[in-house]
Structure 1
Amino acid sequence: MASFVHRIEVHYKKDPRLKIRKDRIRSLGFLIDELQLTDVYTIATGSRDFTRDELLEIGARLSNPVVQEFVVDEATTAFFDYAIEVGFLPGVTDNVGTTARQTIEDYLRVKFSLGDAVYSSQLYFVRGHLPPETITRLGDNLANPLVNRVIIKTRQEYGDRGMDRVVPRVQLHEMRNVGLVDLEIPDEDLVRLGKEGIVDPETGVRRGPLALDLAQLHAIRKYFNELERWPTDVEIESLAQTWSEHCKHTIFASAMDDDVPKGLYKTFIQAATNEIRKEKGDRDICVTVFTDNSGAIVFDDEFLVTDKVETHNSPSALDPFGGALTGIVGVNRDTIGFGLGAKPCLNVYGFCVGDPAADIKLFRGKNRKNPVLSPRQILDGVVRGVGVGGNCSGIPTPQGFCYFDNRYAGKPLVFAGTVGVMPKEANGVKLYEKKAEPGDLVVMVGGRVGKDGIHGATFSSEALDPASPVTAVQIGDPITQKKFSDVLVKEARDLGLYRSITDNGAGGLSCSVAEMAKESNGCRVDLDKVPLKYPGMAPWEIWISESQERMTLAVPPEKIGEFMDLMKRREVEATVIGEFTGTGRCIVECQGIVAMDIELAFLHDGLPKKVLRTMPVKVNNPEPALPCPARLDDIVSAMLGRKNICSTEFVTIQYDHTVQGGHVLGPVQGKGRVQAPATLTKVVPGSKKGVGLSQALFPSYTEIDPYGMAAACIDTAIRGLVALGISPDEIALLDNFCWCSSDEPERLWQLKEAAKGCYDYAKSFGTPFISGKDSMFNDFSGYDAENNRVKISVPPTLLISSIGIHVDVLKAVSIDAKIAGDLVYVIGETGEELGGSEYFAHLGYTGNMVPKLDAAAAKARYLRLYDAIFHEQVASAFPVSHGGLGVALAKVAIAGRLGMDITVPSAMRPDYFLFSESLGRFVVTVAPDHKREFERIMGADALLLGKVGGNRLQITGRTLLAELEISKLEAAYKAPFGGF
């Protein structure tokens, strides 16, 4: 227990945060009059107290004397009606508190003892005549009960003493011994064991999901019966992590029906890449695919770039901020763990959430217990989490998207990706290759191990339900990660101080060490040497915890002294916890006994094989029977205001996309600041080359035609880069499948069709997959406000991300119309293909005809457009996507703040022509002087629609269809999230 507790409260003289925070609180329906905000630091120490003078010095270091004031062990004076303090629960990562502790240690030249800490919290002073129940709800909105504590006091209760001094210290019993698990139990008990976990012998409470099915548990029982012993709890937990859907991707790996005996991954994703690489031969751009933490392609003769996109769906449903933050810093570590370490240089994001304006009330427990966070809270949290992760790490975040559908209300999808850059070689060593050798030391670098992140991998392999474990929630620490990232990829790597490296992600040490052990063919770990955040953790918890900001390295014994000295000088904690061996076994010791001894062959390949069966799904949705309106002015404005089309700049401006100095074409472009579908960044100083990034998803197509949905995703992701001026031959893809109810034959059929689409269209375009990830069982199971049992499944969602190398960024093309008098073309053909479109959704329909694509013709078209851009014949290019041609024309005009005079063909119904989402198309503007050459290059693919000029978008068919001022279109485009 802390013997000495002090509280320092820091407040602004004039707080720049207040208007935004007050407006946000009022937008949630809390009509407060005024708001004040104070940052609180609670210092808790055991053996050493600080003097009054030292505390005043600490307060001065934790505040800015020009704009802030502070008090020590006193109540902040304020004019308010209620005080609401929000801090972290015990064991939750407190990055601000950690930084404050390090500041104190550095300034006073002291060292906090184990157990001493600084805890941060925020104190809101609220003025307004609000009833107590409203204040309670406000406190709930300012916090997340899974990670935060909330204390509310009235003005009278606050008095002269202020708020209480709270020390959220973790207090555990002494470390428990390794336990044995009896698997000689009936099948129904085995099923419960797999679903709910091992029974804790001390408490009688089950520990949380193992996500092991009956066949898997039978295989484990058979293995240990042959060894003539019971498994330990460490062994069972380790197998559960390693065999989890999250880690082993069992659905993609399993045979499916009679025609896919090798599974979806090998048959469609891996096969497409292998065949493309073989066909390209010397023109192959791939370096490493599917075998490392990220995929990699050639950047130039000297450098390569890596890419990886992860999902962090389940944790983000429980704690959006922590889930998204952990997602982005986790995928940063996938980059650091590629080869011998790549430098993270770009972040990307994607959020699929419910409509933030919708009042959706869901509960994980009966009688309105354990409420699900609202879509607005989830959106706010995930946006902030990715921002903190990228901004604090100094990594630009230029690329991303938001997609809204209320079927994501129970479980959001949160995508986080990172691009890395590294030299191919250093000192004669190929940096993209790694291999631990027998005798190398197992070294854990970075943060310490805690109870946060236990059962994260198994939790993410199941549907979200009332028993979802709170310990699965983690909060990342980007500052700690930045420190070890820099020392590894900027120093230790090129000094040759280690032979292999990987991330402590899903499954923690249990997966990272065991994965690396495959390189050397064995490992031995001593859990007693693993540094912990606090004493009292059980052996199985230490082994599987996914506590963040950790890497595992293989360091040769002769290099360990130099390595550890470097880590110490850079203030990065590093600990030798074992060694890699050649025994073919994973051996874990603790408290002088063997806690785990399993053959690597069984640990990694003992998973029983299964055959999945599918059932085709046929749909026949009603089609709109409405005639085309005579005028489309209101429809054009309404389409621009749809949440899947409108500006999401409120997200973009929270992310630094120019840090590291490589910005070329950013996330919003033009005078009108329109969201760009692709971005371009220089990642190697001095090079004229750049990295283009784009993304695409069409969840509304999946229920109609999952094969066509995959085609749309691949085509749109490729087109985003072509519009920048990148050749299709320089593009690679990443796939992220996020499916629901993945044990249902109908959903598996949709998954199979989507995977087939990925194979066919990747092959046709010659764009290999270099990395991917799948996330199954994205379902919510719980209760509505009336206590009815409900299951909400996300729309089966495929995200395709594209990465490409631009050969000369000076020739890149942005999306905005440039000069009055330029010609406006549509490139590609338009058909009546509106099934799943935003226009049909606007009308209240789904439809049946999703867009089709002739990929061979499309690729030839894209190569011609690339040629036209490379030879500087194009002023702007915009890939037509959600909302169709009408939306694309409006966005190009808004971006340039220039009008257009457009004439559409009369052969098709005008609204269908304008809002069909046919694939393979671009809106392009061209200077009149380049008309002849541009049309020569593009041929019949280019259809001249009109020209740029004026301040209105005028669209004419047989009659005038729409005439709208660009300023009003811009207002409609930016209105939905203008108050966020």
Structure 2
Amino acid sequence: MLWEVEIRPIGRDAERERVCQEFDLLVHARRAEELIQSTARGYWLEGNISSEALSRLVREVLVDPIVEEGIVGPAGTDAGNALTITYKPGVMDPVAQTVLETARRLGWAIEAVRTFRRYYLRGALNAEDRTRLIGKVLANEAIEQVLEGPLPVRHLSLGANYRFHLVSVPLRDLDPEGLLRVSREGMLALSLEEMQAIQDHFRQLGREPTDCELETIAQTWSEHCSHKTLKGTITLRDGTLGSSRTYRHLLRETIFAATTEIRRRLGAEDWCVSVFEDNAGVVQWEPRYHLCFKVETHNHPSALEPYGGANTGVGGVIRDVLGTGCGAKPIANTDVFCFAPPDYPPEQLPEGVLHPRRVLQGVVAGVRDYGNRMGIPTVNGAIIFDERYLANPLVYCGTLGLLPVDRASKSVAAGDWIVVVGGRTGRDGIHGATFSSLELTHESEAVSGGAVQIGNAITEKKLLDVLLQARDRNLFRAVTDCGAGGFSSAIGEMAAGLGATVRLEAAPLKYTGLSYTEIWISESQERMILAVPPEKWPELQALCASEDVEAAVLGQFEASGRLKLTYEGHVVADLDIHFLHEGRPAVVREAAWPPPTPRSDGALYAGPASASTPPLELSEQEALLRLLGHYTVASKEWVIRQYDHEVQGGSVIKPLVGAENDGPSDAAVLRPLADSWLGVAVGCGINPLYGEWDPYAMAALAIDEAVRNVVAVGADPRRIALLDNFCWGNVQDPVVLGALVRAAEACRDVAIAYMTPFISGKDSLHNTYRGPDGSRRDIPHTLLISALGRIPDVRRCVTMDLKGPGHHLILVGESRAEMGGSLYSQITRRVGGRIPQVDAQQAPRIFSAVHEAIMHGWVRACHDLSEGGLAVAIAEMAFAGQVGADVQRLPGEGSKAERLFSESPSRFLLEVAPEHRDALAAVLGDLPWFEIGITVSEPRLRIADQNGQWCIWASLRELKQAWQRPLSQSLQIA
């Protein structure tokens, strides 16, 4: 029998409030209360369960009687004037799965469960309100369906029995237009040259490819999996230098080359263990453990379904760390987001694009729920706001792991069994890898909804626990995660250099009806592939059973040089491993980077030929308050407080610091081992505003910011490793590609100068939206640099908040007249100006001196200068510590505004007690440093200009309110 349990709130209806708030945002008038009467949530349960047992299940498991009431009855009863929202068939429903498992553990015969949300209406909806309410507020049509009236089914079972039918794709006789049509209609994301290479291969074999073979090649050759642009041949026509240069393998000749050169220079002192080889980068840390770090992107899925996209982004990068070596233990998560402003005018939303506030809330919730439920602290991150991320939000998710030294390597041997461990396989995420290699359009939500997945953190937590036990028992020889491409990528990559035979019918399924191809390319979450010696299988199987984790043998690795897939005895794919991994034709592209247009004053000009509006004239104090209130600078406490950053007990410096634990930390510090004071700092650098001016400078500045963030808390600059994540627009455009090449060149040059090797990275290209009129909207060139720093003793770490009155304020580094791309220029609508430039020779000396001073205990507080320059930095330090400051000197070049708000790199602001001033001076030596003021007991900030006049005089309360208000106010948080 099919039952319905409807659960209604007692008292406050929070879901109704949310819906009204989002609807009112779209229509600019409080009208939703006229439409929505009340809301409910609920479950449909199918099974042979008595009404008494069902009542007990509702009372003891499903309903909180303090705030809810449950109504039980047969499913199919007319709910009246209501809309019911439920997941589409095949979409992962973690809550339903938990209820099903709980009921079975309690001995109740429940066969299937589905969740729903219900919205009772006050009356009929007109067509306009209906479109807004259903399509933009209540449901995400990529993963959900809307039902009106009673439930139109009598049972919840999914799928019909699959009847085998081998599908071949006729390619050999197609012309170029036909080949592109196959790629486009199949969402293969393959170019004409790639389709022709496949055509030639199968012509030589004298047969057509099966659908499974074609999908396997498409997954393996996708931009997402093979990074073919960055590995391609690119000729850059450099208008700045008036020359051209060709890269045969852009990554190898820039970022990889930097790490190779640094390791050569380090020689016997090389502390890199595994770089750009495994699922994450690995570095030495202490005699027993290495550290590994990976940052992934999950942009396209998050644009369509923010919660599920971010949720599975976190789950995927955690599995990357689990799949490094023979399994690292995740100890911390990071996240960086790029959104359009949350107050973006809804009437200006392009077709098919979610409002950025909804995207922000969904992404944050997805990251929160996955990390918190797995017991992994989220300790560091950033959020950038820019209107150009409207259709393509960026979601970077990172995980740091602890890897035993003796389990850092892995290998697959012929004869090993192919074992899948973890979640079951469904239709989740099919074509996810190829979807991520395409640009988004106004139709993406409709045609690509199947590429979005929903994660289940509890399943992955159980997988994590069993995998680490199996690692310590030496029960497997190699491991990798099922990410983009599912079994296709995971098994295909592990079989490289060998071969494999896979029995697809052996895969545990969520429901019946999946074809052999769907099983092979599904991106269902929480699955890992292990290479298991046959004699180890019984012990591994018993271990998995003891932890309630499913495991199954899918096949065997073998020295055949072929990837052979069968389904119920039928061969459905038989591919040459060499062709699969080496047969893709190299990408050959032309790139260009035009020179900036010179201005009459010699500065470089970027942006439109003329400003659309005149510059905004602001006093220095007005400018400071606006900078503190800019979404990019403003407090992210609303986000941070949702994350658990204390779990596992290793957090030393949290995301928020200061007298009231609400000031902005420069970086996070962890102490992973209770028997050691050795620590690790995690920080990041990102500023896309510089990219449109000079992508080379942007990349250099991102590296500088990431390094100084971790140095500011105590990291040793001699032991900092970097990760790169390039998110770019349409790289088919030579100028967009030229910006990518210039950024990669800067990564090479600055990393070598700083002796900070890159150990891992990831790119996400084609972050482009194309509207129904054919117009193209690219994201700004965006490079995230993540830094991992070693701290000799966490007891010496410092935070950015001022500690007390009567201390010196010392600025280290040069302040130059560099306002190009600055946040000050943005808020005042100014164009032009020199872009900040990194001094790659002097910066390492500054980092070293600041680190030495911190380790000697001479620094009470340290804060790096970034967005908003000196004025923002001292304001943040003051209100975080509730200690006032008088800045009596503004060193540097240029005008008062340039000295206050310039974003020149490699600068720190230090708080130093009088007794340590001379010792610090000796360490800084001939480096540029300046005594600029003193801390005071009065709760205010005063800054004097070059003439000794106070140009800024504000209370700490006023400054802090300006900084804390924007995000919470725009989200209407009480």
TM-score, with length taken from structure 2: 0.92
Per the alignment, residue 818 of structure 1 pairs with 803
Q: 1:395 is matched with which residue: 376, 380, 387?
A: 376
Task: Compute the displacement of 1:627 (Å).
Answer: 9.9
Per the alignment, residue 89 of structure 1 pairs with 88
SS of 1:310's equivalent in the other structure is strand
Q: Spell out, residue by residue over 1:93-117, the C-alpha distance to the aligned partner (whole angstroms, 9 max, x if none).
A: 111111111111111265x5xxx32
Amino acid at match of 2:735: E
Q: 2:507 is matched with which residue: 520, 530, 542?
A: 530
Q: 1:332 is matched with which residue: 312, 318, 329?
A: 318
Task: Compute the displacement of 1:362 (Å).
Answer: 7.2
Contact 1:393 1:479 in 2 (8 A): yes
Per the alignment, residue 386 of structure 2 pairs with 405
- Relative distance call for 1:671 and 1:19 in structure 2 (3 A) is farther
Per the alignment, residue 272 of structure 1 pairs with 258
SS of 2:496's equivalent in the other structure is helix
CA distance in 1 between partners of 2:10 and 2:254 (Å)? 61
Q: 1:417 is matched with which residue: 398, 414, 437?
A: 398
Task: Compute the displacement of 1:237 (Å).
Answer: 0.6
SS of 1:932's equivalent in the other structure is helix
SS of 1:976's equivalent in the other structure is helix
Task: Compute the displacement of 1:74 (Å).
Answer: 7.7
SS of 1:212's equivalent in the other structure is coil
- Listed as ranges, the gaps of 5+ residues in structure 1 are 154-161, 198-208, 426-430
Q: Spell out, residue by residue over 1:248-268, the C-alpha distance to the aligned partner (whole angstroms, 9 max, x if none).
A: 101111122273443111001
SS of 2:684's equivalent in the other structure is strand
Per the alignment, residue 875 of structure 1 pairs with 860
- Relative distance call for 1:81 and 1:451 in structure 2 (3 A) is closer
CA distance in 1 between partners of 2:162 and 2:75 (Å)? 37
| Pairing 1:565-604 to 2, within 5 Å after superposition | 565-604=542-581
Task: Compute the displacement of 1:645 (Å).
Answer: 1.0
1:44 aligns with 2:46: yes
Amino acid at match of 1:743: Q
CA distance in 1 between partners of 2:397 and 2:37 (Å)? 34
CA distance in 1 between partners of 2:774 and 2:733 (Å)? 19
1:259 aligns with 2:238: no
- Relative distance call for 1:88 and 1:18 in structure 2 (3 A) is closer
Per the alignment, residue 202 of structure 1 pairs with none
Contact 1:902 1:945 in 2 (8 A): yes
Deviates more, 1:629-638 or 1:547-556: 629-638
- Relative distance call for 1:82 and 1:767 in structure 2 (3 A) is farther
SS of 2:953's equivalent in the other structure is strand
CA distance in 2 between partners of 1:941 and 1:172 (Å)? 73
SS of 2:591's equivalent in the other structure is coil
Per the alignment, residue 145 of structure 1 pairs with 141
Deviates more, 1:663-672 or 1:572-581: 663-672
1:893 aligns with 2:883: no
Per the alignment, residue 219 of structure 2 pairs with 241
| Pairing 1:777-856 to 2, within 5 Å after superposition | 777-783=766-772, 788-856=773-841
- Relative distance call for 1:570 and 1:925 in structure 2 (3 A) is same
Per the alignment, residue 644 of structure 1 pairs with 632
Amino acid at match of 1:141: V
Contact 1:363 1:782 in 2 (8 A): no
1:472 aligns with 2:459: no
- Relative distance call for 1:626 and 1:126 in structure 2 (3 A) is closer
- Relative distance call for 1:71 and 1:921 in structure 2 (3 A) is same
Contact 2:476 2:531 in 1 (8 A): yes
Per the alignment, residue 439 of structure 2 pairs with 463
Per the alignment, residue 679 of structure 2 pairs with 690
Amino acid at match of 2:190: L
- Relative distance call for 1:217 and 1:136 in structure 2 (3 A) is closer
Amino acid at match of 1:768: P
- Listed as ranges, the gaps of 5+ residues in structure 2 are 236-243, 598-604
Task: Compute the displacement of 1:176 (Å).
Answer: 4.4
Per the alignment, residue 429 of structure 2 pairs with 453
- Relative distance call for 1:687 and 1:166 in structure 2 (3 A) is farther
Per the alignment, residue 534 of structure 2 pairs with 557
CA distance in 1 between partners of 2:308 and 2:19 (Å)? 23
- Relative distance call for 1:819 and 1:84 in structure 2 (3 A) is farther
CA distance in 2 between partners of 1:815 and 1:377 (Å)? 32
Contact 1:614 1:745 in 2 (8 A): yes
Contact 2:677 2:795 in 1 (8 A): yes
SS of 2:250's equivalent in the other structure is helix
TM-score, with length taken from structure 1: 0.91
Task: Compute the displacement of 1:631 (Å).
Answer: 4.1
CA distance in 2 between partners of 1:321 and 1:780 (Å)? 20
Amino acid at match of 2:325: G
CA distance in 2 between partners of 1:20 and 1:687 (Å)? 49
CA distance in 2 between partners of 1:494 and 1:628 (Å)? 63
SS of 2:790's equivalent in the other structure is strand
Per the alignment, residue 915 of structure 2 pairs with 929
CA distance in 2 between partners of 1:75 and 1:524 (Å)? 45
- Relative distance call for 1:214 and 1:75 in structure 2 (3 A) is closer
1:961 aligns with 2:951: yes
Per the alignment, residue 618 of structure 1 pairs with 595
Contact 2:615 2:828 in 1 (8 A): no
Q: Spell out, residue by residue over 1:755-810, the C-alpha distance to the aligned partner (whole angstroms, 9 max, x if none).
A: 01000000000000010001111100123xxxx44211000111100011211111
- Relative distance call for 1:124 and 1:681 in structure 2 (3 A) is farther
Task: Compute the displacement of 1:11 (Å).
Answer: 4.1
SS of 1:750's equivalent in the other structure is helix
SS of 1:39's equivalent in the other structure is strand
Q: C-alpha root-mean-square deviation of aligned residues, in Å? A: 2.5
Task: Compute the displacement of 1:545 (Å).
Answer: 1.1
Task: Compute the displacement of 1:905 (Å).
Answer: 3.1
Q: 1:679 is matched with which residue: 654, 668, 687?
A: 668
SS of 2:819's equivalent in the other structure is coil
Q: 2:935 is matched with which residue: 936, 948, 960?
A: 948
Per the alignment, residue 904 of structure 1 pairs with 889
CA distance in 2 between partners of 1:630 and 1:494 (Å)? 62
Per the alignment, residue 239 of structure 2 pairs with none
CA distance in 2 between partners of 1:137 and 1:397 (Å)? 34
Deviates more, 1:509-518 or 1:24-33: 24-33
- Relative distance call for 1:379 and 1:266 in structure 2 (3 A) is same
Per the alignment, residue 156 of structure 1 pairs with none
Contact 1:474 1:548 in 2 (8 A): yes
Deviates more, 1:253-262 or 1:234-243: 253-262
1:484 aligns with 2:483: no
- Relative distance call for 1:293 and 1:893 in structure 2 (3 A) is same
Task: Compute the displacement of 1:122 (Å).
Answer: 2.7
Q: Spell out, residue by residue over 1:573-620, the C-alpha distance to the aligned partner (whole angstroms, 9 max, x if none).
A: 111111110111110011322111111111101111232211222233
Deviates more, 1:274-283 or 1:315-324: 274-283
Amino acid at match of 1:38: A
Task: Compute the displacement of 1:552 (Å).
Answer: 0.6
Amino acid at match of 2:116: S
| Pairing 1:649-668 to 2, within 5 Å after superposition | 649-668=637-656
CA distance in 1 between partners of 2:146 and 2:638 (Å)? 28
Per the alignment, residue 204 of structure 1 pairs with none
Contact 2:615 2:830 in 1 (8 A): no
Q: 1:974 is matched with which residue: 949, 955, 964?
A: 964
CA distance in 2 between partners of 1:363 and 1:650 (Å)? 25
SS of 1:341's equivalent in the other structure is coil
1:373 aligns with 2:354: yes
Contact 1:81 1:127 in 2 (8 A): no
Task: Compute the displacement of 1:229 (Å).
Answer: 1.4
Task: Compute the displacement of 1:464 (Å).
Answer: 0.9
Q: Spell out, residue by residue over 1:193-222, the C-alpha distance to the aligned partner (whole angstroms, 9 max, x if none).
A: 12222xxxxxxxxxxx10111111111111
Contact 2:19 2:137 in 1 (8 A): no
Q: 1:711 is matched with which residue: 687, 700, 711?
A: 700
Contact 2:297 2:397 in 1 (8 A): yes
CA distance in 2 between partners of 1:36 and 1:300 (Å)? 57
SS of 2:245's equivalent in the other structure is coil
1:493 aligns with 2:471: yes
Per the alignment, residue 120 of structure 1 pairs with 115
CA distance in 1 between partners of 2:707 and 2:750 (Å)? 11
Per the alignment, residue 157 of structure 1 pairs with none
Task: Compute the displacement of 1:662 (Å).
Answer: 1.0
CA distance in 2 between partners of 1:27 and 1:807 (Å)? 53
SS of 1:948's equivalent in the other structure is strand
Per the alignment, residue 180 of structure 1 pairs with 168
Deviates more, 1:607-616 or 1:243-252: 607-616
Amino acid at match of 1:739: W
